[in-house]
């Protein structure tokens, strides 16, 4: 099963096998793709084959990896006569049958948590390979395997000036390596999704291309190349957006009555009548809206962000906190950070229709969003709604001229509310299922 997942991960968005010579690739020890729940390692191994015979190669691999879980990517070029752990006389070719791993409710393999791994010693294994090549000389192969012993977190800052009209976004990626081995000068990519979700997404795209059907509209997590680093045993930090330029920023009011807690990422909508009813917040936030650079931020992993103001004396003050680049806002054109509650502005969310049509396989809901403004001047409010019942949805009607899709289940609409008055916004969402 692990071997099967390695193949699918390589097909989905992982590193590709390489046939480069040692002289061309000696500067890199391989690649590692960081998913949310595990990492895919492509470890480079150099060896020399004598004029007659086979080369015997010894290489250390990550703790917890069994030899039957290791794939040699260049098998079409080389002959692997034997692959086994030193001290174990039983070769690992062909791989033995493994018991079915524990899975969650979505069918994904449960990965060990970071706390669980901290209590396990990193017992590195040394694998011995007996390799034959088409001729004598020096070659390189790549060993691929999955590991649960690499964890990562991303975090960001937005720094503005007292004018509060522009902000510079910077970030950092912290990688904690508990494999027991270091990977010098390794190419690192990060995918802000679990491995199983990435594989399913790749399968959907492949199926749609063969069937000639419309590809899924749910935005996928794109691999982000963060460069070559020396991945030490322990923690390594990588700077994200090192050459970031200031982006336009402006003050805005945001009404987000539901949030992402109710999002159900399923093809068939949740039919529960009470889902999302009566839980809407009335809070409208004073926020700042920062324009996003699609090219510079493509594939960046989600993480917390702090909005900071650099004062004339050089000190920094925290204005607000939020999250950036999560799946819910993957295709958004702007990022918003709340800095407080908007005085004199209150929001209301009311469901006016719920129709469940099992025969035609559709579910229809109608909502009215009201904003009460007691201020003496008109205000613009960004209304953020979440189509939380499922991912197969379409807007049948909206009173706002524009509804911007920000993620697989999130939209934003804008409305102008008159002074000491009320504004209303209506929309109808239709969910369908196969």
Do 145 and 232 sit in the same domain of this protein?
Answer: yes
Instruction: Indicate whether 94 and 176 sit together in one domain.
Output: yes
Query: What's the pLDDT at 78?
Result: 87
Residue 297 lies in a domain: no
Residues 197 and 61 in one domain: yes
Q: Is residue 316 part of a domain?
A: no
- Residue 207 confidence (pLDDT) above 50: yes
Tell me which of 112 and 239 has the higher pLDDT.
239
Residue span of the structural domain in which 421 resides: 247-292+332-432
**Quick one: 203 and 251 in the same domain?**
no
pLDDT tops 80 at residue 115: no
pLDDT score of 239 more than 50: yes
Looking at the fold, whether 9 and 117 belong to one and the same domain comes out as yes
Average pLDDT value over all residues in the chain: 85
- Same domain? For 87 and 138 the reply is yes
Are both 203 and 258 inside the same structural domain?
no
CB 388 within 8 A of CB 264: yes
Q: Is position 67 within any domain? A: yes
Q: How confident is the model at residue 264 (pLDDT cuts 50, 70, 90)?
A: very high
The reply to whether 217 falls in a domain is: yes
Going by C-alpha positions, the residue among 91, 69, 86 that lies closest to residue 123 is: 86
Number of domains, the chain: 2
- The answer to whether position 381 is within a domain reads yes
Residue 315 lies in a domain: no
Domain identity same for 272 and 159: no
308 belongs to a structural domain: no
Q: What is the pTM of this model?
A: 0.81
Q: How far apart are CA 88 and CA 427, in angstroms?
A: 66
pLDDT tens per residue, range 163-198:
999 999 999 999 999 999 999 999 999 999 998 877
Residue 319 within any structural domain of the chain: no
Q: C-alpha angle with apex 185: 183 to 186, nearest 5 degrees?
A: 65
Residue 397 pLDDT grade (very low, low, confident, very high; cuts 50, 70, 90): very high
SS3 call for 116: helix
Residue 256 and residue 167 share a domain: no
**8 Å CB contact between 191 and 34:** yes
CA distance 434 to 429: 17
34 and 164 share a domain? yes
Q: Are 145 and 6 in contact (CB under 8 A)?
A: yes
Query: 61 and 9: one domain?
Result: yes
* Residue 96's pLDDT band (cuts 50, 70, 90): very low
258 and 164 share one domain:
no
Q: Is the pLDDT of residue 270 over 70?
A: yes
Q: What is the CATH number of the domain that holds 352?
A: 2.60.40.290
């Amino acid at each position: 099963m692990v071997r099967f997942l390695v193949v699918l991960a390589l097909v989905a968005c992982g590193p590709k096998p390489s046939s480069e010579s040692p002289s061309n690739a000696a500067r890199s020890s391989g690649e590692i793709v960081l998913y949310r729940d595990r990492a895919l390692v492509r470890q480079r191994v150099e060896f020399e084959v004598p004029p007659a015979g086979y080369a015997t190669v010894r290489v250390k691999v990550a703790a917890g990896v069994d030899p039957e879980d290791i794939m040699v990517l260049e098998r079409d070029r080389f002959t692997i006569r034997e692959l086994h752990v030193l001290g174990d006389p039983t070769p690992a070719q062909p791989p033995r049958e493994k018991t079915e791993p524990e899975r969650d409710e979505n069918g994904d393999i449960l990965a060990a948590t970071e706390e669980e791994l901290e209590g396990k010693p990193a017992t590195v294994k040394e694998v011995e390979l007996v390799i034959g090549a088409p001729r004598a000389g020096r070659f390189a192969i790549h060993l691929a395997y999955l590991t649960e012993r690499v964890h990562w977190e991303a975090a960001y800052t937005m720094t503005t000036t007292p004018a509060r009209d522009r902000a510079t976004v910077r970030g950092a990626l912290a990688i904690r390596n508990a494999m027991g081995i270091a990977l010098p000068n390794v190419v690192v990519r990060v995918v802000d999704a679990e491995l199983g979700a990435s594989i399913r997404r790749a399968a959907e795209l492949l199926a749609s291309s063969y069937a000639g059907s419309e590809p899924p509209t749910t935005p996928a997590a794109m691999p982000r190349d963060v460069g070559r680093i020396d991945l030490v045993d322990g923690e390594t930090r990588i700077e994200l957006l090192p050459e970031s330029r200031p982006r336009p920023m402006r003050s805005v009011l945001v009404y987000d009555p539901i949030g992402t807690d109710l999002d159900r990422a399923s093809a068939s909508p949740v039919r529960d009548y009470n889902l999302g009813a009566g839980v809407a917040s009335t809070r409208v936030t004073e926020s700042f809206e920062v324009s996003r650079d699609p090219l510079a931020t493509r594939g960046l992993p989600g993480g917390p962000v702090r909005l900071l103001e650099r004062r004339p004396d050089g000190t920094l003050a925290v204005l607000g906190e939020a999250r950036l680049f999560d799946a819910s806002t993957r295709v958004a054109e702007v990022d918003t950070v709340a800095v407080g509650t908007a005085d004199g502005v209150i929001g209301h969310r009311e469901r006016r229709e719920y129709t469940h049509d099992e025969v035609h396989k559709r579910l229809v809901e109608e909502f009215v969003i009201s904003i009460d403004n007691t201020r003496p001047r008109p205000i613009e409010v960004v209304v953020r709604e979440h189509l939380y019942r499922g991912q197969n949805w379409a807007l049948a009607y909206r009173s706002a001229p524009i509804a911007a899709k920000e993620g697989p289940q999130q939209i934003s609409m804008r409305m102008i509310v008159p002074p000491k008055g009320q504004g209303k916004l209506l929309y109808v969402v239709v969910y369908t299922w196969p």
